[in-house]
Amino acid sequence: MKYWDEFYQSDFVDKSINDVPSQFAIFALNEMFNENINHVVEFGCGTGKDSIFFTNNNMHVLAFDKSKSAIKLCQDNLNNKLGTFVKIDNFDETKDTIQSIREKICIYTRFFIHALSDEDILSFMIHLSEITKPHDLFISEFRIIGDEKNTKETSKHFRNFIDPSKFLCSMNDHNFKVRYKITGTGYAKYKDDDALVMRVIGEKM
């Protein structure tokens, strides 16, 4: 975690959040509007760029990260009362808070899944199954196998390149029906980094 704390304090990271979210956040927000969802739970919120974008579009956001530096950035940049940012050390710490949300929710993760080990991904999917209600959504974007050879703007980050077919099976195993899936480049471009990713939407059964 020292690595991530130092990363979010470094000059590489823009400390002030502008109004431009990730491409994926715009895609996800449209899906949430279509489903009449106004509660978002984000794991691995980083600088908070996407979470703050959601709050600026009248979404109630509960966001988690293990890095205290990341959480401080989020709190410093939030300009409304719709976002709550919490530092956690493990997934179980989020259970009671999430389950107290009675409305339909969307679990949102961007570039989070591939930052986990295989063991942690399994733990996360088990946790996801436990904290969600029928018809809650899970919307995620992550790097997949085949992206190893592509240019990386942040070359020192740990990356676990995900096998799409195995991840879809894991979603099914943990009671999520896959409603949408796509893989490719052009979805998550950042400078010279054009990641090969999967986007997936799952509905809790």
pLDDT over 70 percentage in the chain: 96
Is 3.40.50.150 the CATH classification of the domain at 2-204? yes
- What's residue 5's pLDDT? 77
Q: What is the pLDDT of residues 77-103, one digit of tens each?
A: 999 999 999 999 999 999 999 999 999
Determine contact, residues 104/74, Cβ cutoff 8 Å. no
Residue 170 and residue 155: Cα distance in Å, rounded? 28
In the chain, domain spans:
2-204
| Inter-CA distances, 83 with 23, 41, 51, 123, 183, Å | 20, 10, 7, 26, 30
- Mean pLDDT calculated for residue range 172-177: 98
pLDDT tens-digit readout, 138-150: 999 999 999 999 9
Q: How far is 33 from 40, CA to CA, in rounded Å?
A: 12
- Would you say 193 and 140 are in contact if contact means Cβ atoms under 8 Å apart? no
